[in-house]
C-alpha cells in the first residue's frame, strides 16, 4: 500500500519529471492532466501495474518510503531524507571531488535552522568557560587576530553513516554511505583557544553549544549539545572553523562559526557554535548518554531492546571506502570490459592502508592504488582498473582496510538501537549491455 507514495511525492514536487521518469514520456500530459495523474497514483492504484515493461530507472526502483530529491538554491540534488529537521544525503557518485564543494555537503540537523546572524560576522561571540582559569568571551574577529589561522582538508561524517545496512533497520535517518564530506576548512585550533583560557587540571571533557533552536520551539532546550574527551579537543586538526573552501560557511552548515572535529561523529562538529564549556565529567547535553552516539561493548542481539547503560561513546569512526566515478544503477554499453575506477576512502583517526574492489561478490579482489592524505584527517583518493569477464549484471564491492589492518565487513556489525558506526562495504550495481 505504501508503495505509491514515492511516485506520488514526485508528482507533487515535479509532475513533468515524474511523468518522464515513470513512463518514459515527456510532454504527453500537461497541466490538469498531470495533476490528475499525480492524484490517481493514490493509495488504491498499485504502483507496479503502472510501470513500463523492462528496466526501471534507479530513482524509482525504491519501494516504500523511497527518497525524493532535495530542491534547494545553493545545494546539489541531494537525497532528501527529511524536511523537518532538514536532512539530506550526498549520492556516492557526487563525492568524486577531492575537496567536497559546499553544495554537495550532506545536511544533518537535529533542530531548526536558526536565522542567519545579520550582524557583522566578526562580532559573533563565543564563550569558553567552565574548568578554566580565565573564561574567555571572544568575537570571531578576536579569534582571527589572536590565534594562528590554519586551513586543512578534513573529513566530517555523520555517526549514522551506513545505517541503512543494518538488519533489522534501526531508528534514525536511513543513510546509505553518503553522510560524509571532506571540505577545506579554515579556522583556529580549538587547542590554542583552550590554552588561552588556562584549563584547570579538572578540565577533562568539553561540552558544545550552538544557536539552533529545538525542533519543538522550546527555547529552554538545546537541539543537540555534545562533548568529547579533552584529548580529542587538543588535537591539532580539531578546529573552530569560519571558512569552508575559502568562503564564509553557508548558513545551512553553521555560519558564521562551527566546530570541526574530524574523524569522530559529525555531531561533535557543532554548528552555529557559541559556547564551549570545559568539564570535569563527561557532558550530559542532548545527544549524550543512553543509546545516543554510543555502541555496545558486548554485542547485543540485533533488534533487541537496550537502554545503552553499558555502551561506550563512539570515538573514531570506522574505515570506509566509496566508488565515486560510477553511480549505483549505471548502465554501460555492451562490450564494456575495462573499468577505470576511482573513489575516496577514510578511517576516522587512522589512515587507509588499502582499497580492494570485487566484481564477484567478494570471491576475488583487485587491489587499487591509494594516495597518502594531504594532511591528517583528510580522506584519501584511490584509483585503479578492473576487467569484466562478460556483459551482464555486476556489483562492484569496495572494501577499504585501515592502518591497523581492519577491513570493512560484508554486513553492518555491532547492531545498536540507534544504528551507529555501520561500515559494511559499499555495493555499486551496474549493468553492461
Partner 1 sequence: MSLPAVEKVALGAICALGLLVLFLDLPASRVPHRAEVLPPTRAALATAEADARAALARAEREAAAKAEGERLAAVQNPGETEDILPVGHGREEVFARCTACHSTAIIRRSGFSRERWDELMDWMTEKQGMAPLEGEVRTLVVDYLAEHFPPRRNPRNANPFLN
CB atoms within 10 A of CB 411: 11
Give min distance, CB of 106 to partner 1, in A.
15
Contact flag: residue 24 with partner 1 (CB under 8 A): no
Contact flag: residue 360 with partner 1 (CB under 8 A): no
Residues forming beta bridges with residue 248, ordered by sequence position: 243
Contact flag: residue 55 with partner 1 (CB under 8 A): yes
Q: Which of 70, 93, 240, 421 binds partner 1 (CB under 8 A)?
A: 70
Give min distance, CB of 223 to partner 1, in A.
10
Segment contacting partner 1 by CB under 8 A, of 67-75, 186-194, 229-237, 353-361:
67-75
Question: What mask, x for binding partner 1 by CB under 8 A, covers residues 276 to 295?
Answer: ----------x---x-x---
Sheet holding 366-367: strands in order across?
330-332, 426-432, 392-402, 352-358, 366-367
d(CA 279, CA 202): 7
Contact flag: residue 333 with partner 1 (CB under 8 A): no
Q: Which of 15, 38, 85, 266 binds partner 1 (CB under 8 A)?
A: 85
Phi/psi for 300 (5° steps) reads -105, 165
Contact flag: residue 218 with partner 1 (CB under 8 A): yes
Segment contacting partner 1 by CB under 8 A, of 115-123, 179-187, 239-247, 260-268:
115-123
Give min distance, CB of 114 to partner 1, in A.
9
Give min distance, CB of 258 to partner 1, in A.
16
Half-sphere exposure of 26 (CA within 13 A, CB side): 1
Bond into 85 cis (ω within 30): yes
Nearer to partner 1 by Cβ, of 386 and 429: the residue is 429
Contact flag: residue 329 with partner 1 (CB under 8 A): yes
d(CA 125, CA 257): 9
d(CA 266, CA 288): 13
Give min distance, CB of 433 to partner 1, in A.
12
Strands (E), 48-106: 79-82, 87-89
Beta strands 205-210; 180-189: pairing state: unpaired
Contact flag: residue 81 with partner 1 (CB under 8 A): yes
Contact flag: residue 84 with partner 1 (CB under 8 A): yes
**Nearest in space to 321 (alpha carbons), one of 288, 348, 355, 287:** 355
**Nearest in space to 299 (alpha carbons), one of 411, 413, 420, 406:** 413
Helices assigned H by DSSP within 149-286 = 190-196, 230-233
Applying CB under 8 A, the site for partner 1 has a residue count of 61
Write out the residues near partner 1 by the rule CB under 8 A. Answer: 1-2, 5, 43, 48, 51, 55-56, 58, 61-67, 70, 72-73, 80-86, 112-113, 115-120, 164-169, 171, 173-174, 176, 214-216, 218, 221, 251-252, 286, 290, 292, 303, 305, 328-329, 393, 429, 431
Amino acid at each position: 500500500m505504501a508503495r505509491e507514495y514515492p511516485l506520488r511525492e514526485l508528482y507533487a514536487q515535479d509532475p513533468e519529471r515524474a511523468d518522464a521518469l515513470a513512463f518514459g514520456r515527456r510532454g504527453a500530459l500537461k497541466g490538469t492532466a498531470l495533476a490528475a495523474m499525480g492524484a490517481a497514483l493514490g493509495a488504491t492504484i498499485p504502483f507496479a501495474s503502472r510501470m513500463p515493461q523492462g528496466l526501471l530507472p534507479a530513482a524509482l526502483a525504491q519501494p516504500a518510503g523511497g527518497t525524493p530529491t532535495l530542491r534547494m538554491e545553493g545545494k546539489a540534488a541531494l537525497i532528501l531524507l527529511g524536511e523537518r529537521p532538514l536532512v539530506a544525503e550526498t549520492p556516492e557518485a557526487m563525492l568524486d571531488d577531492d575537496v567536497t564543494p559546499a553544495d554537495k555537503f550532506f545536511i544533518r540537523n537535529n533542530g531548526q535552522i536558526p536565522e542567519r546572524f545579520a550582524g557583522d560576522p566578526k562580532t559573533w561571540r563565543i564563550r569558553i568557560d567552565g574548568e578554566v582559569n580565565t573564561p574567555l568571551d571572544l568575537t570571531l574577529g578576536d579569534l582571527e587576530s589572536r590565534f594562528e589561522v590554519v586551513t586543512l582538508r578534513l573529513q566530517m561524517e555523520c555517526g549514522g553513516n551506513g545505517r541503512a545496512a543494518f538488519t533489522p533497520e534501526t531508528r534514525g535517518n536511513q543513510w546509505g554511505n553518503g553522510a560524509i564530506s571532506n571540505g577545506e576548512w579554515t579556522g583556529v585550533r580549538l587547542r590554542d583557544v583552550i590554552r588561552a583560557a588556562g584549563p584547570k587540571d579538572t578540565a577533562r571533557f568539553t561540552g558544545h553549544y550552538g544557536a539552533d533552536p529545538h525542533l519543538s520551539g522550546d527555547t529552554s532546550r538545546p537541539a543537540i549539545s555534545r562533548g568529547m574527551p579533552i584529548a580529542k579537543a587538543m588535537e591539532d586538526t580539531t578546529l573552530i572553523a569560519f571558512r569552508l573552501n575559502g568562503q564564509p560557511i553557508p548558513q545551512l552548515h553553521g555560519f558564521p562559526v562551527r566546530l570541526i572535529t574530524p574523524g569522530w561523529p559529525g555531531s561533535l562538529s557543532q554548528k552555529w557554535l557559541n559556547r564551549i564549556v570545559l568539564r570535569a565529567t563527561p557532558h550530559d547535553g542532548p545527544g549524550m548518554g543512553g543509546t545516543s552516539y554510543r555502541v555496545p561493548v558486548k554485542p547485543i542481539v540485533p533488534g533487541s531492546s537496550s537502554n545503552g547503560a553499558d555502551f561506550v561513546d563512539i570515538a573514531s569512526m570506522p574505515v570506509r571506502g566509496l566508488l565515486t566515478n560510477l553511480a549505483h544503477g549505471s548502465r554501460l554499453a555492451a562490450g564494456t570490459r575495462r573499468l577505470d575506477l576511482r573513489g575516496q576512502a577514510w578511517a576516522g583517526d587512522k589512515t587507509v592502508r588499502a582499497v580492494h574492489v570485487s566484481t564477484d561478490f567478494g570471491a576475488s579482489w583487485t587491489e587499487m592504488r591509494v594516495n597518502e592524505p594531504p594532511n591528517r584527517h583528510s580522506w584519501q583518493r584511490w584509483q585503479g582498473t578492473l576487467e569484466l569477464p562478460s556483459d551482464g549484471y555486476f556489483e562492484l564491492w569496495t572494501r577499504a582496510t585501515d592502518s591497523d589492518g581492519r577491513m570493512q565487513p560484508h554486513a553492518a556489525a555491532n547492531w545498536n538501537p540507534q544504528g551507529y558506526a555501520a561500515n559494511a562495504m559499499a555495493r555499486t550495481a551496474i549493468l553492461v549491455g
